[in-house]
C-alpha cells in the first residue's frame, strides 16, 4: 500500500509542477502592442498609425492633393 501512496503523491506533485510552470510561461509572454491611435480620415484608406508624425508622413506621400481634417477623439 505504501508504494501506491508514494506513486500517487509523486503524480500529484508532478501535475502541480506542470501547472505552476504553465502559469510562469504564460506570465512571461510579451504584452500585445497598443492599438494604433491615429487613423487616416481619407475615405477608402483606413490605415492607422501609432503616432501623429506617421499619419502626417502617410498623408503627405499617399494623399498629397487631398486636404485632410484630423478629428481628435
What's the chain's average pLDDT? 85
- Which SS3 state, helix, strand or coil, does residue 55 take? helix
Which pLDDT score is estimated for 22?
93
Residue 11, pLDDT > 90, answer yes
How many CA atoms are closer than 13 Å to the CA of 57, on its beta-carbon side? Answer: 7
Residue 63's pLDDT is 85
Query: pTM for the complete prediction?
Result: 0.46
List b or e across 22-40, with b for residues whose CB sees 16 or more CB atoms inside 10 angstroms: eeeeeeeeeeeeeeeebbb
Residue 73 has pLDDT above 80, yes or no: no
- Over residues 38-47, the mean pLDDT reads 86
Beta bridge partners of 40: none
pLDDT above 90 covers a percentage of the chain that reads 29
| CA separation for the pair 58, 43 (Å, rounded) | 14
63 neighbors 42 (Cβ within 8 angstroms)? yes
Amino acid at each position: 500500500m505504501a508504494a501506491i501512496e508514494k506513486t500517487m503523491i509523486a503524480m500529484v506533485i508532478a501535475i502541480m509542477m506542470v501547472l505552476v510552470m504553465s502559469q510562469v510561461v504564460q506570465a512571461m509572454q510579451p504584452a500585445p502592442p497598443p492599438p494604433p491611435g491615429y487613423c487616416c480620415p481619407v475615405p477608402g484608406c483606413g490605415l492607422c498609425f501609432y503616432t501623429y508624425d506617421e499619419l502626417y508622413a502617410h498623408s503627405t506621400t499617399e494623399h498629397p492633393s487631398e486636404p485632410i481634417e484630423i478629428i481628435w477623439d
